């Protein structure tokens, strides 16, 4: 044997991950009292529009200054019986259109689904090269919905005519 070893393939997270992966609270990237705190919430739905109750959503993002101070930037939330997840965080700062990088794991997903949530009403959205390459429902699928009161809705459709736009790993 010589040279670099081969990459390790992915396998599904399965249905029983919560006691291993979702014990600590990783839904709060900031405390609810943090200045500018927002809530990102949504449901994960399958191709029959049934809630995916055994999914795990992970997010990565920059902080409000566009940096990664103090290890900021990672969140994880398992979905509940109705397929719901939620994070408390801040809108990322920095140049360009702000977005949150998203991975979805679940029973039945042999590798994670990768997508992005952009923020509604951002002037930078029009200049974003990913959003610019998409149109109609597909473009809409990547932009959160302002639900008022600092809540942004972001539903993930795994399959079907409203399927979220997913990025290759």
Partner 1 sequence: MSESAIRRIADGEEGTVHPPYLHPDYRSTRLRAPLRPLIMLPESMHDPSGPVYGDDPPAATDSDLTAQHDGEPLGERIIVTGRVLDGTGGPVPGALIEIWQANAAGRYVHERDQHPAPLDPNFTGAGRCLTDAEGTYRFTSVKPGAYPWRNHQNAWRPAHIHLSIFGRAFTDRLVTQMYFPGDPLFAADPIFQSIRDERLRERLVSRLDWDTTTPEWALGYRFDIVLGGRDATPVEA
Closest separation between CB of residue 125 and partner 1, Å? 14
Distance CA 32, CA 89 (A): 8
Give the tokens for residue 67.
Answer: 């940096």
Q: CB nearer to partner 1: give 68 or 147.
A: 68
- CB half-sphere exposure, 41, CA atoms < 13 A: 13
Q: CB nearer to partner 1: give 36 or 96.
A: 96
Closest separation between CB of residue 75 and partner 1, Å? 8
Is residue 77 within 8 A of residue 131, CB to CB? The reply is no
Closest separation between CB of residue 153 and partner 1, Å? 20
Summarize as ranges the residues that interact with partner 1 (CB under 8 A).
3-21, 23-24, 26, 46-48, 50, 52, 54, 58, 60-62, 68, 70-74, 76, 92, 101, 103, 105-113, 116, 129-130, 133-134, 158-159, 163-169
Instruction: Provide DSSP, 29-86.
Output: SS-TTSTT-EEEEEEEE-TTS-B-TTEEEEEE---TTSS-GGG--EEEEE--TTSEEE
Closest separation between CB of residue 39 and partner 1, Å? 19
Q: CB nearer to partner 1: give 94 or 147.
A: 94
Distance CA 87, CA 31 (A): 10
C-alpha distances out from residue 85 to 3, 28, 56, 57, 161, Å: 43, 12, 8, 7, 22
Closest separation between CB of residue 45 and partner 1, Å? 10
Q: CB nearer to partner 1: give 112 or 144.
A: 112
What is the distance in angstroms between the CA of the first residue and the CA of the last residue of the chain?
Answer: 28
Q: CB nearer to partner 1: give 19 or 149.
A: 19
């Amino acid at each position: 044997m010589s040279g670099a070893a081969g990459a390790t393939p992915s396998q599904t997270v399965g249905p029983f991950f919560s006691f291993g992966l979702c014990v600590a609270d990783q839904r709060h990237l900031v405390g609810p009292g943090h200045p500018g705190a927002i809530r990102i919430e949504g449901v994960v739905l399958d191709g029959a529009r049934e809630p995916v109750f055994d999914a795990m959503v992970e997010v990565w993002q920059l902080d409000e200054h566009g940096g990664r101070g103090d290890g900021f930037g990672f969140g994880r939330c398992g979905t509940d019986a109705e397929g719901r997840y939620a994070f408390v965080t801040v809108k990322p700062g920095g140049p360009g259109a702000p977005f949150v990088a998203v991975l979805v794991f679940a029973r039945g997903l042999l590798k994670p689904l990768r997508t992005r949530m952009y923020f509604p009403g951002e002037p930078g959205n029009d200049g974003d090269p990913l959003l610019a390459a998409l149109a109609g429902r597909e473009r809409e699928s990547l932009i959160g919905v302002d639900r008022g009161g600092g809540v942004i809705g972001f539903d993930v459709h795994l399959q079907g005519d409203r399927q979220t736009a997913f990025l290759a790993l």
